[in-house]
Structure 1
């Protein structure tokens, strides 16, 4: 009797083990996010001043799109910017869950970045310096210097052109190649992956992904000081953490949500979401690199302006100017 019971128990245990193995084998693989995606849109990260609500009715959206579509963005003191042939001007507002959105930011409710007082002071000083001469490349912003992090993020944000991304997914990684600035970000997917120590800082941060059902959740830390943009006196490599969630909505759409936590810059975490669409392609080379002609020309023009101002001042005081020497 005991022998029969033992055999039955062993058989039951074996059956359960085989059932578990079968269930493991039957678990569906994670969805493949590979493809060419675009987040080009009239919608931008922050809500424009003339729009108050997050969601517009279709009639309101049509009126706004008719007013904005085909016109370049309003950019002050940008030589040649208003007449650029590179603007992508055929986009409408972005739709999320069928709603026409006025900003990607959904929290705070006003659609604005929740900067703290110190960060606001830094931003004001930076904008003031942007319009005047500069002494060194380091005084210019990341975009002027062709440094990474302006499109590939995280978070991944759209601009006025080159809004395409190539995703290549394997079992070990998701590789994100942004067309704008040709930034390349690698999201590690291996189980048990850990971020490096806080002293190790990387352009675009250190990204680790994990699957929650059909959604890829990405946590990125260890940003470089220039990306964190901390105010004076703060840790230039503050504990900024970006959490992203990527979910396929079908063959041609990808839902993208993100949360940014950075106490050195913001009074609260802020959140956004968008829907990315497949793009026909191809991706084009964005040949911007640190130290290129634009940076050289900007600094040279500043030196010329300084020399002209000095000469004008000397002449007005009765001192012979350069032409008289």
Structure 2
């Protein structure tokens, strides 16, 4: 264990920035981003600790974060020893849906340019996503009230969210962000297209290079992506979203920038322009290459949780009807 803790400190630093001839290139001379990347990281998406939290920390503070994550993981796994005895009478029983072994959130913080940031979000400088506008809050509340008046959340499978149904998770697909597991991204690059395969929910994004956006009325969950080169940086712009089927996400625009960072990693930087927020926001993180394979994401095909959720709702409805019948008989 001691060697593991010490080893974590040693793997935090990324290699020196790649020279122009060190990063792989295509036959046309552009940086070749094709390959698999594991973006699991202990660095949080937004900064923790409030307004006084530092934007960067030193290696000693980062090691404390990393070693703490290792200890939490080992403590949680200790409770799952198959040879352990029963819990004490009256004690707590951990009934979480997943054991920690199934999570892959990373055990180290990343470093960019010799500095260790405390969040992926770098702008605004406080490391937080700007709050929603008052108009956006009002629209969301009106939509929720209308939905609640006309249907119950568990009336049928279509009323459950696309995330509940294991179909799509937009806020980690565009932009492409780390999640609790399935953090591998695969890039396939040609002279005309770039495909980014997101392991979490197995979503393939295709950006057409040197093309125009589709008409405004042609929308999709992941939007319409086009790309172009600015020197050695691949820029991908995505528009034409809808936030849910039939609900256009007007004005939302995401700009992603992929740049060589080291010979074995790229720098991923994104800016989200969202009219529902009071200001744009920007984040950045390294994407290290990996030899690990991407797993099939078969959650939808094996989603017994949704089936059991709906079955539980029907059982509650039957119980409520039985109480009504008993009350009527008593009258």
TM-score (norm 2): 0.73
Which shifted more, 239-248 or 58-67? 58-67
- Structure 2 residue 175 is matched with structure 1 residue 155: yes
The residue that corresponds to 1:281 in the other structure is 292
- Conservation of the 8 A alpha-carbon contact between 2:170 and 2:222: no
The residue that corresponds to 2:186 in the other structure is 166
- Conservation of the 8 A alpha-carbon contact between 2:219 and 2:248: no
Superposed, 1:249-268 pairs within 5 Å as: 249-263=261-275, 265-268=276-279
- Conservation of the 8 A alpha-carbon contact between 1:145 and 1:290: no
- Structure 2 residue 216 is matched with structure 1 residue 204: no
Following superposition, the deviation at residue 209 of structure 1 comes to 0.8
Structure 1 gaps, min length 5: 1-26, 230-234, 321-325
The residue that corresponds to 2:120 in the other structure is 104
| CA distance in structure 2 between the aligned counterparts of 1:111 and 1:82, rounded to whole angstroms | 30
| CA distance in structure 1 between the aligned counterparts of 2:29 and 2:119, rounded to whole angstroms | 34
Structure 2 gaps, min length 5: 1-26, 77-93
**Structure 1 pair 297/63, CA: closer, same or farther in 2 (3 Å)?**
same
- Count of aligned pairs between the two proteins: 276
Larger radius of gyration: 1
Which shifted more, 171-180 or 45-54? 45-54
Following superposition, the deviation at residue 139 of structure 1 comes to 3.9
Following superposition, the deviation at residue 248 of structure 1 comes to 1.3
**Structure 1 pair 275/303, CA: closer, same or farther in 2 (3 Å)?**
same
Following superposition, the deviation at residue 91 of structure 1 comes to 2.0
| CA distance in structure 2 between the aligned counterparts of 1:141 and 1:36, rounded to whole angstroms | 29
**Structure 1 pair 99/294, CA: closer, same or farther in 2 (3 Å)?**
same
The residue that corresponds to 1:16 in the other structure is none
- Structure 2 residue 307 is matched with structure 1 residue 296: yes
| CA distance in structure 1 between the aligned counterparts of 2:172 and 2:106, rounded to whole angstroms | 22
SS, match of residue 186 in structure 1: strand
**Structure 1 pair 110/159, CA: closer, same or farther in 2 (3 Å)?**
same
Larger % of helix: which? 1
The residue that corresponds to 2:318 in the other structure is 307
**RMSD, aligned CA:** 3.3
**Structure 1 pair 117/67, CA: closer, same or farther in 2 (3 Å)?**
farther
Q: Which has the higher contact order (CA 8 A, sep 6+)?
A: 2
The residue that corresponds to 2:3 in the other structure is none
| CA distance in structure 1 between the aligned counterparts of 2:72 and 2:280, rounded to whole angstroms | 33
The residue that corresponds to 1:7 in the other structure is none
SS, match of residue 242 in structure 1: strand
